[in-house]
């Protein structure tokens, strides 16, 4: 959520940022400013009434002490009128604050100055590439055929048990899933991230805090009886660990990692992009989250990008890093780098991670602050990234490492998988 102070001091900056993000309701900015001006005027009036009432209370005491009861009673009647007016003002102020808040949460975060203009993924900027492209023969198979050939995954079984988009992994496929999760967590904890095992459902306040609500309500699975939401990413519960807390400056940055299943309705997805593991409703992911000092959060972001890049390098996968344009960024992000891995059999790039800086957008909602050396409290910056999402990593590992004898397991993963090859 954008700070209300910014609307008072730099309306044009907000309008320009929203334009870069292709936000279609700029009139909401003017509405927020109008509500804020009205609310502040009423607040001044209410404060004045409170000052008058306090002053009158002292005067009434002095009059009573002097025995001037009639004047004291007249003043009491005036104070009662002021108090009644103050109640009306307080009610109106509460209504305006609620109206202002409801408008504020509909606005996306403003993009960082380095974010390129653009509306579609084609406008994203390639930052760098890495890894070697595999050299496969014409008999190369897509991962869904490889999964069937080696008995790794059954999509139809998942469809019978639950529905489309809920794969069942088995045998060496289940082992590969578990190996990747443990490998990713160990890689993260070695880099100083503290491991958490959070709940896989959150309440409305938590989903609201990280910006999933109200923006992505239609994409989340909602347990209506209890009011819980199945998490779309571990970012949601992990970041909310620090909701409504004040962190000491010396404890920044706070580095956290967690594994979780992720649940996404992916409404409107269809066609070749959803074949196999390309887009599913339940998948496993390991996440990294940092709470950082505002002065160093973009250095932190660069470090998180290098951290995820190191994983892909160890796995030996060809990758590219994209700086997302304004129109392709998430609601809450100020700057996002996407990682894509090349799928050799499908001959296309698949997104496997997003690493983002949200600045104070989430922490303003969650009231996550730090106390600096002077004792002043400020909002921290929140950042997160996939490290990594498993479905497309598995798809690319299977496709890119296929041989006539089986599927080679990357050296970094072999201690976890226990074998050099799926056969």
Examine the pLDDT at 121 and tell me if it is beyond 70.
Answer: yes
b/e sequence 301-316, b meaning 16+ C-beta within 10 Å: bebbbebbbebbeebb
Helix (H) or strand (E) holding 371, with range, is strand 368-371
b/e sequence 40-75, b meaning 16+ C-beta within 10 Å: eebeeebeebeeeeeebeeebeebeeeeeeeebeeb
pLDDT tens-place string over residues 188-227: 999 999 999 999 999 999 999 999 998 888 899 999 999 9
Confirm if 231 and 262 have CB atoms less than 8 A apart: yes
Position 110 in a domain: no
pLDDT at 183: 98
E strands in 13-166: 125-130, 153-154
Taking Cα atoms as reference points, which of 184, 186, 224 lies closest to residue 204? Answer: 224
pLDDT tens-place string over residues 131-190: 999 988 888 999 999 999 999 999 999 999 999 999 999 999 999 999 999 999 999 999
CATH of the domain at 81: 1.10.287.40
Do 68 and 17 share a structural domain?
yes
Do 197 and 58 share a structural domain?
no
- Out of 104, 131, 155, pick the residue that ends a domain: 104
pLDDT at 13: 95
| Number of structural domains the chain divides into | 2
- C-alpha 70 chain-centroid distance: 64
Do 131 and 94 share a structural domain?
no
DSSP 117: P
Helix (H) or strand (E) holding 255, with range, is strand 254-263
pLDDT > 90: percent of the chain: 83
Q: What is the pTM of this model?
A: 0.92
pLDDT at 269: 53
CATH of the domain at 331: 3.30.930.10
pLDDT at 271: 54
Do 171 and 29 share a structural domain?
no
Examine the pLDDT at 7 and tell me if it is beyond 60.
Answer: yes
Bridging pattern class, strands 381-389 and 282-292 = antiparallel
Examine the pLDDT at 379 and tell me if it is beyond 60.
Answer: yes
Do 279 and 314 share a structural domain?
yes
Position 418 in a domain: yes
pLDDT at 80: 75
pLDDT tens-place string over residues 320-352: 999 999 999 999 999 999 999 999 999 999 999
Examine the pLDDT at 60 and tell me if it is beyond 90.
Answer: no
pLDDT tens-place string over residues 353-378: 999 999 999 999 999 999 988 889 99
- Out of 72, 104, 136, pick the residue that ends a domain: 104
Query: How far is residue 49's CA from residue 79's CA, in Å, rounded to a whole number?
Result: 9
Examine the pLDDT at 68 and tell me if it is beyond 80.
Answer: no
pLDDT at 218: 86
Q: Phi and psi of 181, rounded to 5°? A: -60, -50
Query: How far is residue 71's CA from residue 7's CA, in Å, rounded to a whole number?
Result: 47
Examine the pLDDT at 53 and tell me if it is beyond 80.
Answer: no
Do 134 and 47 share a structural domain?
no
pLDDT tens-place string over residues 261-313: 999 997 655 555 678 999 999 999 999 999 999 999 999 999 999 999 999 99
pLDDT tens-place string over residues 71-84: 766 766 777 777 78
Full domain range(s) for residue 24: 4-104
Query: How far is residue 338's CA from residue 126's CA, in Å, rounded to a whole number?
Result: 9
């Amino acid at each position: 959520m954008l700070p209300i102070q910014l609307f008072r001091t730099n309306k044009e900056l907000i309008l320009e940022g929203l334009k870069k993000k292709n936000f279609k309701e700029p009139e909401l900015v003017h509405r927020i400013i109008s509500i804020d001006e009205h609310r502040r005027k009423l607040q001044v009036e209410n404060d004045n009434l409170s000052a008058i009432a306090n002053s009158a209370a002292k005067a009434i005491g002095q009059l009573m002490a002097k025995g001037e009861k009639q004047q004291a009673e007249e003043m009491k009647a005036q104070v009662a009128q002021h108090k009644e007016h103050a109640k009306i003002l307080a009610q109106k102020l509460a209504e305006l604050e609620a109206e202002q808040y409801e408008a504020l949460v509909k606005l996306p975060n403003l993009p960082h100055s380095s974010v390129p203009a653009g509306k579609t993924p084609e406008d994203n900027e390639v930052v760098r590439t890495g890894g070697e492209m595999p050299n496969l023969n014409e008999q190369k198979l897509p991962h869904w055929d490889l999964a069937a050939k080696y008995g790794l995954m059954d999509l139809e079984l998942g469809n019978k048990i639950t529905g489309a988009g809920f794969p069942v992994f088995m045998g060496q496929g289940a082992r590969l899933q578990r190996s990747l999760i443990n490998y990713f967590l160990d890689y993260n904890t070695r880099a100083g991230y503290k491991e958490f095992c959070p709940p896989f459902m959150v309440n409305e306040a938590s989903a609201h805090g990280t910006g999933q609500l109200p923006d992505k309500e239609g994409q989340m699975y909602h347990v209506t009886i209890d009011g819980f939401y199945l998490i779309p990413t571990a970012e949601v519960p992990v970041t909310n660990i620090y909701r409504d807390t004040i962190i000491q400056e010396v404890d920044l940055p706070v580095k956290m990692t967690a594994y979780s299943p992720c649940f996404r309705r992916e409404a409107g997805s269809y066609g070749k992009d959803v074949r196999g593991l390309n887009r599913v409703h339940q998948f496993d992911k390991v996440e990294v989250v940092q709470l950082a000092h505002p002065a160093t959060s973009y250095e932190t972001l660069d470090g998180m990008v290098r951290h995820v890049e190191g994983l892909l390098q160890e796995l030996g996968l060809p990758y590219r890093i994209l700086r997302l344009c304004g129109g392709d960024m998430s609601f809450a992000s100020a700057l996002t780098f996407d990682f894509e891995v090349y799928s050799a059999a499908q001959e296309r790039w698949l997104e496997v991670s997003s690493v983002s800086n949200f600045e104070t957008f989430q922490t303003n909602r969650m009231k996550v602050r730090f106390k600096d050396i002077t004792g002043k409290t400020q909002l921290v910056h929140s950042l997160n990234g996939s490290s990594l999402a498993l479905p497309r990593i598995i798809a690319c590992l299977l496709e890119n490492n296929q041989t006539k004898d089986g599927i080679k397991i990357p050296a970094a993963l072999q201690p976890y998988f226990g074998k050099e090859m799926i056969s």
